[in-house]
Amino acid sequence: MQPVNVVAIITAKPGKREEVLTAFKANVPAVHAEKGCIEYNAVIDMDGVGGFQAKLGENSFAVIEKWESMDALMAHAVSDHMKAYGAKTKDLLESRTIHILKSA
């Protein structure tokens, strides 16, 4: 079975990214404990890269995920800790875009 890759782009309301990241980081241990989680972490723009970098911006971050299967990803999406994280951060977010990808 081919692993499932996810790139989620999270944009917080202006000035709220750190608050969202704090909630995200508090949730990471529960996600890492999920069956089928291979990778799950937040990333932000790297400084000093140069003009070829397409920046996410000061209010955004990406979540890089890898799951053993689509079933594992779907179980993650409806887990109690993800529902709690969503409820805690929903009023802090401007947008959320989730890309579910497979190897080419």
> Is the domain covering 4-101 a CATH 1.25.10.10 domain?
no
Element (H, E) at 85: helix 80-89
Orientation angle between helical segments 17-32 and 80-89, nearest 10 degrees? 180
Q: What is the DSSP letter of 36?
A: T
Average pLDDT over residues 29-37: 98
Question: How many Å apart are CA 94 and CA 75, to the nearest integer?
Answer: 25
Which residues, other chains included, contact 70 with Cβ-Cβ below 8 Å and sequence gap of 6+?
4
Place of tokens 């709220």: 16
Residue 85 pLDDT: 97
Q: Are 102 and 1 in contact (CB under 8 A)?
A: no
pTM, 2 dp: 0.92
Mean model confidence pLDDT for the chain: 96
Residue 12: predicted pLDDT: 98
Q: Is the pLDDT of residue 79 over 90?
A: yes
Q: Model confidence at 51, in pLDDT bands (50, 70, 90)?
A: confident
Residue 1 has pLDDT above 80, yes or no: no
Question: What letter does residue 58 receive in the DSSP assignment?
Answer: T
| Token couple for 64 | 């890089």
Question: Band of the pLDDT at 48, cuts 50, 70, 90?
Answer: confident
pLDDT average, residue stretch 8-26: 98
Q: Are strands 4-12 and 37-43 parallel, antiparallel or unpaired?
A: unpaired
Kindly state the average pLDDT of the residues 86-93: 97
Domain ranges of the chain: 4-101
The reported pLDDT for the residue numbered 39 is 98
